[in-house]
């Protein structure tokens, strides 16, 4: 199989690249890379393998220069005759920002960029599978506290917390406009956080949110809300296995499911066992976030309930010193708290039956292997570019 992979240096794409390279039934992997030269692209690819000392075979992994924002991307891909041999495309590249200031970039990358890839892909002579890495969270914010199944989405009536999930929903619809149904495979990972192995994660994405929650300790979120979280290595293993499986469906959740889901409280207990010098975790109603924001601006009314948590307010003053830092953290963490509140668990029956993979280890257990890296995350820096 000859595979064209986008997002090859990202959190999921990098793990996919390494996992694919270990398969003998994969001949060549063409990687779309935003680089100024082929030399720079090769350095970036090599870094993906060097991070965990994986074997790198440069004769099998071929860089293709370009990026999703290139106006001429479709034409340049069509002009590259080496790509005529591609029979599978894995579109992993995406802008995953939750920040509203990046909404335009998110839409240009996730819809505009995808459209350019599809305009090339639909004319490939040997294309058998277009594997789109979506997200299970396209179900929207009106679905709460229950198990979500694949056939519930995409739903045009769904309302979204962030532009990212909206664009991933639109992406699934766009693929259907360009490709035959037998060519389409959609993998919808749930929340991807860290790595279940005792190694450095490829990216602090989502781990930043956990590190921030660890620093704050007083958390305006439902402690018992179900959280469907998986490690990136499990996501990559499942996605690659799905590509080669005898599939009965076109859409699959890559998720922890009911058996592997966790809660904010369970994650907090794991964090407390490592960082016991901080105040114990305390979960308060999400509605109190507004009081927190008022407090950081010195505008909180004297009779407000938040003052009953004086110990935590004093801890914040000592830890962060400048209240503007707290405002920054709560602005960055707010979308993550919103997702936690939804209590989504994504049914993974299709994946387990068609691939034969085992359930993911619950996040409150596997995250023990990432504690050294959680401790090193600069939460303020992460809040600037969430």
Asked if pLDDT for residue 376 goes beyond 70, the answer is yes
Question: What angle do helix axes 323-342 and 289-296 make, rounded to 10 degrees?
Answer: 170
Task: Specify the pTM.
Answer: 0.96
Separation CA 4–CA 238 (nearest Å) = 18
Please report the pLDDT score of residue 386 as a whole number: 55
pLDDT in tens, 126-175: 999 999 999 999 999 999 999 999 999 999 999 999 999 999 999 999 99
pLDDT in tens, 89-137: 999 999 999 999 999 999 999 999 999 999 999 999 999 999 999 999 9
Please report the pLDDT score of residue 383 as a whole number: 86
% the chain with pLDDT above 90: 97
Please report the pLDDT score of residue 205 as a whole number: 82
Give 332's pLDDT tier (boundaries 50, 70, 90): very high
Separation CA 230–CA 256 (nearest Å) = 6
Domain boundaries, the chain: 2-189
Question: What angle do helix axes 38-50 and 11-21 make, rounded to 10 degrees?
Answer: 80
| Phi, psi torsion values for 7, nearest 5 degrees | 70, 30
Asked if pLDDT for residue 286 goes beyond 70, the answer is yes
The string of DSSP letters for 340-362 reads: HHH--EE--HHHHHHH-PPPPPP
Asked if pLDDT for residue 384 goes beyond 90, the answer is no
Separation CA 38–CA 30 (nearest Å) = 13
Separation CA 193–CA 204 (nearest Å) = 8
Question: What angle do helix axes 323-342 and 310-320 make, rounded to 10 degrees?
Answer: 120
Query: Strand pairing of 345-346 and 28-33?
Result: unpaired
Q: Domain 2-189: what homologous superfamily?
A: NAD(P)-binding Rossmann-like Domain (3.40.50.720)
Mean of the per-residue pLDDT values for the chain?
97
Please report the pLDDT score of residue 385 as a whole number: 67
Asked if pLDDT for residue 197 goes beyond 60, the answer is yes
């Amino acid at each position: 199989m000859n595979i064209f992979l986008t997002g090859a240096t990202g959190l999921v794409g990098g793990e996919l690249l390494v996992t694919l390279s270990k398969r003998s039934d994969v001949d060549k992997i063409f990687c779309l890379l935003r680089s100024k030269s082929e030399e720079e692209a090769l350095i970036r690819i090599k870094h993906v393998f060097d991070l965990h000392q994986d074997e790198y075979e440069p004769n099998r992994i071929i860089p293709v220069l370009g990026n999703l924002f290139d106006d001429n991307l479709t034409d340049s891909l069509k002009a590259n005759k080496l790509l005529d041999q591609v029979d599978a495309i894995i579109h992993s590249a995406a802008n995953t920002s939750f920040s509203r200031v990046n909404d335009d970039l998110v839409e240009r990358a996730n819809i505009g960029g995808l459209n350019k890839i599809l305009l090339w892909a639909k004319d490939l002579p040997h294309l058998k599978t277009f594997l789109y890495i979506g997200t299970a969270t396209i179900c929207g914010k009106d679905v709460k506290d229950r198990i979500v199944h694949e056939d519930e989405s995409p739903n045009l009536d769904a309302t979204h917390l962030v532009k990212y999930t909206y664009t991933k929903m639109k992406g699934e619809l766009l693929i259907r406009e360009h490709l035959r149904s037998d060519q389409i495979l959609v993998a919808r990972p749930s929340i991807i956080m860290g790595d279940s192995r005792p190694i450095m994660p490829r990216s602090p994405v989502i781990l930043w949110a956990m590190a921030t929650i660890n620093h704050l300790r007083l958390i305006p979120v439902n402690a018992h809300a179900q959280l469907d979280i998986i490690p990136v290595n499990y996501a990559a293993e499942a996605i690659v296995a799905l590509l080669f499986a005898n599939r009965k469906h076109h859409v699959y959740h890559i998720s922890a499911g009911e058996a592997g889901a966790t809660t904010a409280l369970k994650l907090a207990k794991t964090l407390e066992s490592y960082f016991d010098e901080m105040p114990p975790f305390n979960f308060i109603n999400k509605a109190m976030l507004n009081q927190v924001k008022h407090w950081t601006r010195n505008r909180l009314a004297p009779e407000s309930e938040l003052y009953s948590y004086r110990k935590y307010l004093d801890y914040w003053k000592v830890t962060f010193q400048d209240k503007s830092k707290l405002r920054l953290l709560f602005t960055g963490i707010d979308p993550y708290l919103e997702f936690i509140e939804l209590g989504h668990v994504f049914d993974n029956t299709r994946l387990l039956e068609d691939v034969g993979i085992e359930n993911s280890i619950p996040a409150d257990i596997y995250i023990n292997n990432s504690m050294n890296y959680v401790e090193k995350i600069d939460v303020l820096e992460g809040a600037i570019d969430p």
